[in-house]
Structure 1
Amino acid sequence: MTQTTPSAGAGDYGPEVAGRPGSTAADYAGDPKERPGFHIGSHSTEMALTTTALVLAVIGAALIGWTGGHILGSWISLAGIVVGLYAQLTSDTTYERMVNVCAIGIAAVAFAFNLHHGGLW
């Protein structure tokens, strides 16, 4: 497909489309909160929730191998599922959502294995 415009643009995902008509990334250079698109540092709460969900999921998965830790592993995995679901609800970017889905999946599998080893109590 040939391009009909004289200059190459950023496409549908560029700052020209996301911002005001005719605006470019240079217009938003001063304040990162005013610039459309993905920018690091503007949503630290959501990033903390995503990190917490991932850490809880990994700890719950690590406790699968310890047969005496099924109770602790079950509760940690359940907490990872709940925190992951809340992080998914409040996530801002596609990257956070991708990590949230992976964390929820890991926590759910860890929860199932820990339940199989003995349950929540």
Structure 2
Amino acid sequence: MTQALRPNTAGSLFATDGKVRPLQDTLMAVTLVLGLLSFITSFFHGLHLLTSWTGLLGIVVGAYGQWISETTRERTGLILGLGASGVGFLIGMAHGGLFGGLIG
């Protein structure tokens, strides 16, 4: 009869187990912010340094977050941030790269 007292979150996309995980939540938020920044700045050709570096940092932070994540909610946010970071990183690399104009 104890199952009648538990909420049914098995079907929810953002299912959580009710525990607080500040490190995973912080990594998810940082990945989303870096991905969004990288994606938005990729539309401006002159910002390729910012675009490529924030994209690379977003990929690294997101990959570590994926490695230690435990719930679907965390993984969903991380995948969205990783995708945006990846797109921004690749467009930033096409526009001039990580060191475009500074070295060489």
What TM-score comes out, normalization by structure 2 length?
A: 0.78
Equivalent residue number for residue 38 of structure 1? 17
Equivalent residue number for residue 94 of structure 2? 116
The gaps in structure 1 that reach 5 residues or longer are: 1-8, 10-14, 17-22, 26-36
Measured in 1, the distance between the counterparts of 2:94 and 2:70 equals: 35
* Aligned length in residues: 90
Q: Kindly provide the amino acid, as one letter, of the partner of residue 33 in structure 2.
A: V
Runs (4+) of structure 1 moved beyond 2 Å? Answer: none
Greater RCO, CA 8 A, separation 6+: 2
How far residue 101 of structure 1 moved from its aligned partner, in angstroms, is: 1.1
Asked if the contact 1:56–1:107 (Cα under 8 Å) also holds between the matched residues in 2, the reply is yes
Alignment of 1:21-60 (within 5 A): 24-25=5-6, 38-39=17-18, 42-60=20-38
Larger radius of gyration: 1
What TM-score comes out, normalization by structure 1 length?
A: 0.67
Measured in 2, the distance between the counterparts of 1:112 and 1:102 equals: 16
Q: Is it true that 1:70 corresponds to 2:70 in the alignment?
A: no
How far residue 24 of structure 1 moved from its aligned partner, in angstroms, is: 5.0
The secondary structure found in structure 1 opposite 2:32 is: helix
Output the aligned Cα RMSD.
Answer: 2.0
Q: Kindly provide the amino acid, as one letter, of the partner of residue 26 in structure 2.
A: A
The gaps in structure 2 that reach 5 residues or longer are: 7-15, 100-104
